[in-house]
Structure 1
Amino acid sequence: MDVDLRKLRYFVAVAEELHFGRAARALDIAQPVLSRQIRALEEDLRARLLLRDKRGTTLTPAGEQLLADARPLLANADALRRRVGRAARGADRFTVGSLPGLAVSAPIRELASRHPGLTVDVVRTGWDDQTDVVHDGRVDVSFVRLPVDRHGLQVRPLTTEPRVVVLPVGHRLAARKSVSITDLAHEHLVRDPAAAPEWRDVATGVRAGSRHARTDVRTVEERLEHVASGAGVVVLPLSVATFHSRPDLTHVPIGDIGPDHVCLVWDASRRSPLIHEFAAIAEERHRSLETT
């Protein structure tokens, strides 16, 4: 039996909303059409996926299993569509992913100058999707900051830079020329502690089993808002702290913490000459900057 991806998309919309009306509006289809498609999917799979009553819509155990399996299946289908589209366009377009704060214009200009007919695009990424854009085919290469999951990726180290702690201007450590990681042991970290294992190893709250890190704050801007409000501190690469500078915050070097690592990554299964050419250009550019 072949599974209809369109019906799967309809099902995921309903499963996430748990409301047929809202799902139909999000999909821009009529609610009766959506209901028929869900019934058809249940008939295809010979399983009841959703229960509807006056209290609302709920998932059955089979529906919960299908939702868990459908999300990666649909993501892979979207990635396949993008990769095929990229191949159909030929070698006239190259897309680079980059986090804010990274200087990537020089290697991009160099690649474009070598290939006058090539269009080079840039996609801004975030901390949470810096490798997703490679896996799903949105970009050819992506500039990332470690740590990342290296599975399925080719990783080319480029450069390192110091890490700093970002603090409110009135913080007790704000006037210091530098701090040590132990100075931050009692602070709340507005970031996943896995991103700063040195802090995690000394943090009194983590060692005591209480939560001293915010893992639900996703973007740099959100983290800085929490820092400015006095909810904690955040450890960032120097260039990121500088890029997002604001008058109510300051940053202080951390003297005994390892540097941030910037790398270029791409899908390890790809053999594109443009990818390897761009990687060589980026590596040479960063090497020349380090020697000047």
Structure 2
Amino acid sequence: MGVCDSGWSIARRSTNLGAGMAFEDSGGWFLKTMVRKHRIASGATQQAIADELFYSPDTIRAWELGRATIPLKMLARYAKACGVNDEIIGYMVQVAIARREGKPVEADMRFNALFMSLAEEFFGSFFKFDATFIPGPLQLKEYHDLIVRPADPEASDDESKDGWVFKEARRIALEDRPDQPMMSFLIGEAALVHLRRFSEELYQKQMAYLRKWAKRPGVSIRILREPVPVRMSGFSIYQPEDMPRACPPFVYTEIADTSWCIDDPDRIARYDELRKRLWKMAIRIEVYRDDDRRDRMA
């Protein structure tokens, strides 16, 4: 267990696989869930995949349920048949090798983003805090283009465009969930102050969008006025909450060019205590007004 810099370790949780209790690790969950997601999106059946790979439908079913390990030599072909793109297949191979060798995954921010987006589709609850920016799934495209893009001058235009496409896909996946996960977003007031100084019109549009999101079932958004140390300025917590297709809980955090998915239960508990403390200090967006703050700054 544990965590490594820019890494992602393989946590385990008990799960009911239909024939008694078993243990599932995060790596295995990522592999089976990613291929199942893409297979369903492509419209292919388990029978069609089995025919293409010359395996039985029972084998494909066992791979999707996690009852059997996908052979490393078959992983790329299997994922390709299910509609997974080459980039994600490359990450899947890394995960499979790490599981076989019992080592942490040497992950980058892109992989961690893919892992989080998958968790957003299947976990029962998650909490996101950002002290300086509005969280990705809640951003308008104008906010992404005019506020987020200039903050990362090293990113190319293509990378910025791809980043927005990825955010849009995450938002759509959240909106399309048939269940009602508990989604909590904590936004630092500094993000709103900066936005309002940049453009009053965009500020009003973005705030209206946030309030619209806050009306969705299971969604809570709060604004934190108090400053926090840099080391606490952004993190996310993902909890399964008995969702059958979730993996073990984890925390995500990043600084500069390094990011972590932390699965250690003690560290998750400490982050959760911080979450509770910050959440209690924050203001519900439904009643948030910044007029008094602007008057004091005048």
Which TM-score band (shorter chain)?
under 0.3
Q: Give me the TM-score of the superposition, normalised by structure 2.
A: 0.26
Higher relative contact order (CA 8 A, sep 6+): 2
Q: Which has the higher helix share?
A: 2
